[in-house]
A and B are shown apart, each in its own frame.
Chain A
């Protein structure tokens, strides 16, 4: 299940280690061919992607960053294609990021959220999928509150499916955008030590990141109170800490996770006050990491719960850059999947 790189001598991580992403000269035209080694019809998770697949997506996303920074941001790769963003869970940033990514590639994008849909009238996920499928979309982006729901839906439709988060399972584009952000700032991923901190138990972001970072050769630490750590976590190949200061010692990257409000009041941790004291990232705790350590958060942040404003807005924070990278990574993913669509 966990991919460890045994072939670093000829694997893609050597490309990364050589810092090659800085060496190419972007033509500012995204290629129309699928990147070699991206053979997947859907993006359901990081699990199942090879390191080569991941690196290809990141390379493509680097190009998309350049596109997004131009005045003329519009491309035609997805012209004539229909993208449906099907969100069973409220989301502002992920949904708008996918919407913008689709539009920048020229797709017609429709947003559908559960609050206004027939799901509340008792329609099942499968029926919703069948109904949307009959409208002949090319890509469906799905977020659902249940793990595995996106896999279930993908089996019932003819188009490409992107997992925009399923329960506590995976959120692959978040992990890709985090990797892109790290790679652009550190020049590599292999050999870095990354600490993922907080509510790992309920976090799809953490799972996708653990799989991706380990696949690309990073060392991963997980830090949190034991009530918020999934059983069997050590068997993922990560180091587990319940003391934030020890866990943060000499790390290159600190990834904070959001703590859901309903889990703060005695069910998993006794109080916000106690949680922030022991697991909230403030300047003191951050000082245990390397001096050039960078701070990330998938958002939306609970300031004063898992992260202090001082750190969130500080010089080491990459949080705003993550949002920018999100659009680029989603453009890369949509484009890679589009190459598998009929008549591509």
Chain B
């Protein structure tokens, strides 16, 4: 039985927005007590961690990370992804079912959970496929997969495009109370598109992806939610029109939540510059006006969750002409630092940001994490929000190096990350 006192911290409870000086007492794997304001007396035998006035909050919960295990371990393993996550202050990640074989059977869920238990330093929660083989046709075993430990259902990189399949999945999901997370992109409208449609794509001679590829599928899904009552989470939206669709759905009281990729919050299509394939993403980076719209939606709470959309790609899939390169960017290790750009720019308050990074995703999953309160899991992160540095991709813990923030000036980092009472990362070293 270990007891830890994290003292002299600036506490922020992402679940309530409350902030102020204080200390957190951790006993075994849970938060035993929160001392707001008053200096805490040190319990006998407790180890004291001096926080130096830095921000202490609940660990980040990332609803969307692609891990190459099983099947693409050369890109990322559960161990390397969790090391990257820990270094970025993420204490829970939901891994996508786009593995080989895909996570569409209870045995694969079991495999991922066992591998994570043995090799990962943070909580890894598998999301299972909505359809077998991610093929968009035949429903998976929602009940059995949930019993095996799947926390949500998604076809990952793919959308379920067949409306009948989606209707049945939402209907059936309601009976089991499970969550469907949809990648909202209609592939026939994406076509040959590789970036946001508009002047920039036309200048680069690249085919564009219209916003309607997103809004049409989102609108359809929300009508299906109204029809079925299933719980629906739009994995990532990227434009102002989608914000309005989600807003209306929420105002109508539908069981709809919504996420945004960190990339769409802090980058725009101009970051592609002269064909930077690390900025080739799905959904694509859009215009500055769209970026501002999703930032505003985050502030208003129309967007609930920020995800890293962590998608490790190797040199062979990225060092290609833009249209031939794979989609995706690393994100989990830089999620916090990139998100802090919004705070430093004065666009989002730190408590609001942390709510979208930990409390809201925990709520979407129905888990106890994401809050500073007695009895909650001792998943904590100590943040130095101001530390400036230039990101060097060679220092990243991921097995892949496709970070759109390579050589970017960033400010803020996780000084210490704790998972279930165990320190899994200290800045400058990783345990």
Name A's B-contacting residues (CB within 8 A).
Answer: 1, 47, 124-126, 144, 146-149, 151-152, 166-170, 204, 207, 230-233, 235-236
Question: Known interface pairs A166-B205, A230-B202, A232-B202. Does A146 touch B321 (Cβ–Cβ under 8 Å)?
Answer: yes
Q: How far is the CA of A167 from the CA of B321 in the complex (A)?
A: 10
| Smallest CB-CB A-B distances: 10 pairs | A169-B205, A232-B199, A148-B275, A146-B321, A230-B202, A147-B205, A168-B205, A149-B321, A235-B199, A232-B198
Q: State in angstroms the CA–CA spacing of A166 and B210 once bound together.
A: 23
Q: Are B316 and A169 in contact (CB under 8 A)?
A: no
Could you say which residues of chain B place their CB within 8 Å of the CB of A166? 205
Q: Do B202 and A147 have beta carbons less than 8 Å apart?
A: no
CA distance A152 to B320 in the complex (A): 8
Taking CB atoms, residues of chain A closer than 8 Å to B323 are 146-148, 167
From B204, B206, B208, B321, give the contact of A152 (CB < 8 A).
B321
Minimum CB distance partner of B274 in chain A: A151
Whether the Cβ atoms of B208 and A146 lie closer than 8 Å is no
Which residues of B line the A interface, CB within 8 A?
197-208, 210, 274-275, 316, 319-324
* Complex Cα spacing A236 to B204, Å: 12
User: Is B206's CB under 8 angstroms from A168's CB?
Assistant: yes
A148 touches B274 (CB 8 A): yes
Distance of A207 Cα from B280 Cα, bound (Å): 22
What's the Cα separation between A144 and B322 when bound, in Å?
12
Which single member of A1, A125, A152, A170 contacts B205 (CB below 8 Å)? Answer: A170
Cβ contacts under 8 Å, B207 to chain A: 168
Structural contact, B199 and A147, CB atoms closer than 8 A: no
A residues less than 8 Å from B208 (CB atoms): 231
Which B-chain residue is minimally distant from A156 (CB atoms)? B319
- Please measure, in the bound complex, the distance between the C-alpha atom of A144 and the C-alpha atom of B198, giving whole angstroms: 23
List residues of chain B with CB within 8 A of the CB of A152.
Answer: 275, 319-321
- Chain A residues contacting B322 (CB-CB under 8 Å) are 146-148
| B274-A231 in contact (CB<8A) | no
A144 & B321 in contact (Cβ 8 Å cutoff)? yes
CA–CA, A126 and B318, complex, Å = 11
Cα–Cα distance between A152 and B274 once the two chains are bound (Å): 9
Whole-angstrom distance between the alpha carbons of A340 and B316 in the complex?
Answer: 32
Tell me which of B199, B201, B324 has the highest count of chain A C-beta atoms within 10 A of its own C-beta: B199
Other A-B contacts than A125-B321, A167-B206, A168-B206, 18 sampled, CB-CB below 8 A, are A1-B203, A124-B319, A146-B322, A147-B206, A147-B275, A147-B322, A147-B323, A168-B207, A169-B205, A170-B205, A204-B205, A207-B203, A230-B202, A231-B198, A231-B202, A231-B210, A232-B202, A236-B202
Compute how far the CA of A232 lies from the CA of B199 in the bound complex, rounded to whole angstroms.
Answer: 4
Does B324 contact A146, Cβ atoms closer than 8 Å?
yes
A149 to chain B, nearest CB (A): 4
Given contacts A231-B198, A235-B199, contact A207 B321 (CB under 8 A): no
Give A167 to B322 CA distance when docked, in angstroms.
Answer: 11
With a CB–CB cut-off of 8 A, which chain A residues contact B321? 125, 144, 146-149, 152, 167
Residues of B within 8 A of A125 (CB): 320-321
With A and B bound together, what is the CA distance between A233 and B201 in angstroms? 10
User: 29 pairs across A/B with beta carbons < 8 Å?
Assistant: A1-B203, A47-B203, A125-B321, A146-B323, A147-B204, A147-B275, A147-B321, A148-B205, A148-B321, A149-B321, A151-B274, A152-B275, A152-B319, A152-B321, A166-B205, A167-B206, A167-B321, A167-B323, A168-B207, A169-B206, A204-B205, A231-B197, A231-B198, A231-B199, A231-B201, A231-B208, A231-B210, A232-B199, A233-B202
A124 to B320, CA, bound (A): 8
Residues of A within 8 A of B205 (CB): 147-148, 166-170, 204, 207
Task: Pick the most buried of A148, A232, A235: most chain B CB atoms within 10 A of its CB.
Answer: A148
Bound together, the chains give a CA A147 to CA B325 distance in angstroms of: 12
> Cβ of B324: which chain A residues have Cβ within 8 Å of it?
146
Q: How far is the CB of B211 from chain A (nearest CB, A)?
A: 11
- Assess whether B274 is in contact with A124, with CB atoms less than 8 Å apart: no
Cβ–Cβ < 8 Å partners of B206 in chain A: 147-148, 167-169
Contacts of A169 in B (CB 8 A): 204-206
Q: Across the interface, do B197 and A126 meet the contact criterion of CB distance under 8 Å?
A: no
Decide if B275 touches A151 in the complex (CB within 8 Å).
Answer: yes
Q: Inside 8 A of A1's CB, which chain B residues have their CB?
A: 203
What is the minimal beta-carbon distance from A190 to any residue of chain B, in angstroms? Answer: 23
A315 to chain B, nearest CB (A): 34
Question: Bound state CA distance, A231 and B203, in angstroms?
Answer: 10
Q: Complex: how many Å from CA A241 to CA B199?
A: 17
Shortest CB-to-CB span from A32 to chain B, Å, is 32
- A232: nearest chain-B partner, CB-CB: B199
Query: Complex: how many Å from CA A204 to CA B204?
Result: 10
In the complex, chain B residues whose CB is within 8 Å of the CB of A124: 316, 319-320
Residues on B with C-beta less than 8 A from A168 are: 205-207
Residues on A with C-beta less than 8 A from B202 are 207, 230-233, 236
Among B199, B205, B207, B319: residue with most chain A CB under 10 A? B205
How far, in whole Å, are A144 and B197 apart by their CA atoms in the complex?
A: 22
- Is the beta-carbon distance between B204 and A148 smaller than 8 angstroms? yes
Q: Report the bound CA distance from A126 to B315 in whole Å.
A: 11
Please indicate which of the listed interface residues B202, B208, B316, B320 has the most CB atoms of chain A within 10 Å of its own CB: B202
Chain B residues, Cβ within 8 Å of A144: 321
Chain B residues with CB under 8 Å of A126's CB are 319
